[in-house]
A and B are shown apart, each in its own frame.
Chain A
Amino acid sequence: MITRRDFFAVMGGGIVIWIACDADAQESGGGRRRGMMQRTPQEVSAWLHIGETGAVTVYTGKVEVGQNARTSLTQAVAEELHTPVASIRMIMGDTAITPFDMGTFGSMTTPQMWPQMRRAAAAAREMLIDLASQKWMVERAGIRVAEGKVIAGSHSAGFGELSRGQQLTGTIPASEALTPATEWKVAGTSVRKVNGVEIVTGAHKYAYDMKRPGTLFGKVLYPPQYGAKLLSLDSKAAEAIPGVKVVRETFREDRGRAGQELVGVVAPDPATAERALAALKAQWTPITGTPDSKTIYQHFKETARGGAPTNPNLVPYTVAYIAHTPLEPRAALAEWDSDGKLTVWTGTQRPFGVRSELSQDLDIPEDHVHVYMPDTGSGYGGKHNGDAALEAARLSRAAGKPVLRNWTREEELTWAYFRPGGLIEVHGTVNPDGTLATWEFHNYNSGPSALHTPYEVPQKIEEVHNCDTPLRQGSYRGLAGTANHFVRESYMDELAHSIHMDPLEFRLKNLKNDRIRNVMQAAADKFGWTRRSKTAGHGFGLACGTEKGSCVAACAEVSVANGVVKVVRVVQAYECGAIVNPEHLSNQVEGAIAMGIGGALFEAIHFADAKIQTNRLSRYRVPRFTDMPAIEAVLLDRKDIPSAGAGETPIMAIAPALGNAIFDATAQRPRQMPMLL
């Protein structure tokens, strides 16, 4: 825990605003007085510093993985502090100087951290007004803050001038009131990506690009089959290569299918490390009798825990395992100092979680571990842990030099965790008037996100069945929301057709949730759903849903010829409360559609004999330029609803909309993802 004294030692004088977590603020009486506190609260979620030069620096444990949190959080501060965006620097995901944060996942940055940033900035603004009031002996009411200056009549001062020579701190509870969205000036506008210039000039250093003086390059030997154990290792040939060190250690915890053993090499350059890795002769236990990507769904059913459903009418759908495939693979640079303290630069959505992993694995205190997360080449839920960090830290300790451990694409596609595969069984019945009568939904292995139908049904059963997974699995953008939306919205289409009702009418008839109705209607209107005219080989489909505080609806047109599906046009409406940045929101929505097309139509991990067969980009197809339809994003701005995140839910409607469109075109119901096998 960083103390007040430490903080000013690092930052110099000025003003610091600590943002207490709700619980801590309540413990301290919930008082909102911006008093001069001598202690930092126990639980701080962020802090903001205004230096003596007037520079504004904000500290948060959240990280940037392409979702533009760096920009949106900067907007939050600019909005309330009344200072230009360019005057604000956001320090993110650095465990040495940012407050603890669980991680950047679950679309929580916007609903949770974003308002806290605004509260911190508002508190700082009020403190500046207090200072000006004392200094100029002017009533607070006559003082305003604008464009980074505090102004009262003929008086005007930059932020730094007012705090010069002082060390002022304030603590605010997380529940302080904020400017309503209808009065926003910077928030709610399309502020550009704040570090866009570093991106387009190649100046930004990602974890993969990091280097320290004397850095060595690390490679790790993985088993030929997942689950295989090392029987013997002959490393003589590798060790004979000049400059090479072979490292053999045991992780504290079993890394599951990758095993508990670490066999690695370090060398002065990547080519030599590669050569040394190839020179290792290892023998492994053979693995037999594991399920493959064809038998996996039966395997889920056989290994499901808890009671099995008895309804014989359940209709099975399947969802393949898929890979996040972040274009920057996992990477970590580790460096130890002479006091046994470790610094790791790595791309992760959970820098503090990785700090704990390192501390536990290496058996050193957490305050001896510093994890820094540079803005990273995407995650999509795939970079929650410290695989590369652990490898780099151990290799570096053994070598006595900084070690960069950059995963290859093959390693990324083989040893990272996947989005879970799943079997989903569904059945429902409809009354003659088109209202739903019963609904039964069983999800095997893929997970509980968005499991519950938003439609009105008097009788429903919705269950998740945990199963054995032969592959390593974990978070993904929207988790199981895509799988559950795909099956629910496809089956709703089946039910609509069974009673010859238009799918839009059928949905609206069974939906009371106004927010979902609104996005569905907005998408349908923009698409021209009721005016659609069917031609041979073309089909139209729609889908809607809600998750994590936002609502999504998509209408799609496809053409199908000789089994080849082309997505022609997608209109997607999205509503996540008050819009923080329209351009970036639109970018997220479009990008989610693009990514969703991959999982819907062709992405799948193929595996057999305990090997991942789709272990290269030439074998694992992801969406490309030519796969893109005409995309129209319709953004509904609800200034009366608190802003929710937008990194995940926009991915959930596209797959069922496409499946329904394919059915419309072909009369064949796709009941598997990916739909093209």
Chain B
Amino acid sequence: MPRITQLDVNGARRRIDADSERTLLSVLRDDLDLTGTKYGCGEGQCAACTVLVEGQPVKSCLTKVGAVDGKRITTIEGLAPEGKLHPVQQAFLDADAMQCGWCTPGMILGAVGLLARTPRPTDAEIVSGMNGHICRCGTYPRVVKAIREAAKKGVQA
């Protein structure tokens, strides 16, 4: 089987040795210990596993690692590389848009992708754009608020 030997993750070339059919989620978590990317369902229903590929959100549980060979991958660990929070991360803190936090990394990356496509979304656009994400604690209204506030400040992905 074809093997993937390196991944471009968070601005660094990471050496791996993975079957190309494995999920990106598993490679990030199990091989690279980037556990900020969360498993939630394994079938693309909850988007807890969202990462950015070339700046766009993808569900890493449904993405084969072979499909992102050579592409630029950003996980939650890469969103604030110098320790300075990304404006969307800050907006989530400001809005208290989390409880247990399991969905939060995926939510934040989903929001970053949404704002890259639609820099000034309406609330309805936030709701439809984020609807693939599940927050079982039910912080949805706060996530909408966080994204709205981040958009006001003009976020660049």
Contacts and interface: CB of A to CB of B under 8 A. Distances in A.
A327 B29 contact: no
A199 B128 CA distance: 24
Interface stretch (A437-445, A490-498, A540-548, A590-598): A590-598
Given A327-B134, A616-B41, A193 B98 contact: yes
Contact of B136 (A406, A583, A595): A595
Nearest to A409: B41
B104 to A, nearest CB: 5
A594 B108 contact: no
Q: Secondary structure at chain A's binding surface: helix, strand, loop or mixed?
A: loop
28 contacts: A65-B100, A66-B98, A192-B96, A193-B98, A200-B90, A200-B98, A200-B104, A201-B89, A202-B36, A202-B75, A202-B76, A204-B101, A206-B102, A208-B38, A269-B30, A327-B46, A587-B99, A588-B99, A591-B138, A591-B139, A594-B140, A595-B138, A617-B46, A622-B136, A624-B140, A625-B127, A626-B131, A631-B141
Contacts of B19: 271
A618 B45 contact: yes
B24 interface: no
A628 B141 CA distance: 8
Nearest to B26: A270
Contacts of B41: 409, 616-618
Contacts of A409: 40-43
A408 B42 contact: yes
A171 to B, nearest CB: 35
B80 A66 contact: no
Given A202-B36, A377-B101, A326 B96 contact: no
A269 B96 CA distance: 36
Contact of B93 (A197, A205, A408): A197
A208 B38 CA distance: 9
A235 interface: no
Interface string B9-39: 0000000000100100010011001111111
Contact of B127 (A329, A587, A626): A626
A68 interface: yes
B142 interface: yes
Interface string A59-95: 0000001111000000000000000000000000000
A452 interface: no
A271 B22 contact: yes
A378 interface: yes
User: Which 10 A-B pairs rank lowest in CB-CB distance, beginning with the nearest?
Assistant: A202-B36, A594-B138, A66-B100, A377-B102, A202-B76, A209-B35, A199-B101, A66-B99, A591-B138, A617-B45
A212 to B, nearest CB: 12
Nearest to A204: B101
A588 B99 CA distance: 8
B151 interface: no
A624 B103 CA distance: 12
A616 B43 contact: yes
B131 A625 contact: yes
A537 interface: no
Interface of B: 19, 22, 26, 29-30, 33-43, 45-46, 48, 75-77, 79-80, 85, 89-90, 92-93, 96, 98-105, 108, 126-128, 130-131, 133-144
B130 A201 contact: no
A649 to B, nearest CB: 15
Given A271-B26, A409-B41, A618-B45, A199 B96 contact: no
Given A199-B104, A378-B136, A591 B99 contact: yes
Contacts, number: 166
B107 to A, nearest CB: 9
Contacts of A590: 138-139, 141-142
A45 interface: no
B48 A201 contact: no
A211 B134 CA distance: 26
Contacts of A376: 100
Contacts of B101: 66, 199-200, 204, 375, 377
A327 B40 contact: yes
Nearest to B89: A200
Given A196-B93, A271-B19, 10 more contacts: A66-B98, A200-B93, A200-B108, A202-B105, A269-B30, A594-B140, A617-B41, A624-B140, A626-B128, A626-B131
A325 interface: yes
B139 to A, nearest CB: 6
B37 A378 contact: no
A201 B77 contact: yes
Interface size range on A against B: 35 or more
Contacts of B102: 206, 326-328, 377-378
A584 interface: yes
Nearest to A215: B30
Interface string A384-424: 00000000000000000000001011000000000000000
A375 B104 CA distance: 14
A291 interface: no
A7 B131 CA distance: 49
A428 B65 CA distance: 62
B46 A587 contact: no
Nearest to B94: A192
Given A328-B102, A592-B138, A625-B130, A202 B42 contact: no
Contact of B85 (A197, A206, A208, A583): A197
Given A376-B100, A625-B140, A628-B140, A200 B85 contact: yes
A474 interface: no
Nearest to B137: A591
A623 interface: yes
A583 B145 CA distance: 14
A184 B143 CA distance: 30
Interface in A262-284: 269-271
Given A201-B79, A593-B138, A594-B138, A378 B36 contact: no
A197 B94 CA distance: 11
Contacts of A588: 99
A380 to B, nearest CB: 8
B95 to A, nearest CB: 9
Contacts of B92: 200
A99 to B, nearest CB: 24
Nearest to A208: B39
A667 interface: no
Contacts of A2: none
Nearest to B132: A624
